[in-house]
Structure 1
Amino acid sequence: MAGAVPAAENSTAWEAAAAYVSSLPEGFNGIKGEVLKAKLEAGEQIFVLDVRQPSEFAAGHIEGALNVPVRSVPAALDKLPADKNAPIVVVCASAVRSGYVAMALAFKGYTNVKHLAAGYVAGWQKAGYPAVK
């Protein structure tokens, strides 16, 4: 297969992925919409990273969120908190893209990353939580 990495070369990546997956906490690294809303309303300093496309973001997003489309995240790490222990919540429409980005950030050394469980549509918008357009 073109572009495939030989098994011997990707064994280190697989070992890192296996170690990460086996250390996942109960419920993985998701945060429910109501919990995130309560934390934000309480004034907790949470960096919200929205990895949806700009058109999705423009249709509605969590106040204060930074929009960096999923494929642009690697080139935008300088926009994330310098403190790798800072709380970060990654958001996408359905929790798929955000889950991938949350895992990638964990591999990059960020220790307090969660993703919005159920995504923006089901986990925030359908609940009627505040949105900026």
Structure 2
Amino acid sequence: MLNAKIKNVTAEEAYKLLSENKEFVILDVRTREEYEGGHIPGAKLIPVGILPMKLAELDKYKDKPVLVYCASGGRSPRAVDTLANSSFKNIYHLNRGICSWGYSITR
């Protein structure tokens, strides 16, 4: 876990954080089909199963805050652990996933 700061946030907290800080990287770790069905605007898709192989693509974001989510909060903790063990500093985990997201989504 090195020096990672991990914070679990509600949808309301996440929405507020995203509107206040444009530096956020939003990481959707669901499948492509789920992502295409609707995702948080601006989210990057990297399914949790291939995240370890795609970490190099995210290297430039290690010092930025990262919001990680899946559908209901079951898969995203694995992604949070992967990021924390790869020197990401500020990781936010969306509790209960996109299912709890009552704000606009992009299709």
TM-score by length of 2: 0.87
Equivalent pair of 1:30/1:117 in contact (CA under 8 Å): yes
What is the identity, as a one-letter code, of the residue corresponding to 1:131?
I
Which residue is 1:117 aligned to? 95
Which residue is 1:131 aligned to? 105
Percent identical: 31
Aligned-pair distance for 1:85?
A: 2.3
Which residue is 1:69 aligned to? 47
**Alignment map for 1:41-56 (pairs within 5 Å):** 41-56=19-34
Which protein is richer in helix relative to its size? 1
Q: Which sections of structure 2, spanning at least 5 residues, go unmatched?
A: none
Deviations 1:90-123 (A, max 9, x none): 11001121111101211111121121111111x2
Which residue is 1:13 aligned to? none
Equivalent pair of 1:93/1:119 in contact (CA under 8 Å): yes
Q: Which sections of structure 1, spanning at least 5 residues, go unmatched?
A: 1-19
TM-score by length of 1: 0.71
User: 1:100 aligns to what SS in structure 2?
Assistant: helix
**Larger C-alpha radius of gyration, 1 or 2?**
1
Moved over 3 A (4+): none
Equivalent pair of 2:39/2:106 in contact (CA under 8 Å): yes
Moved more, 34-43 or 51-60: 34-43
The Cα RMSD (Å) is 2.1
Matched residues, number: 106
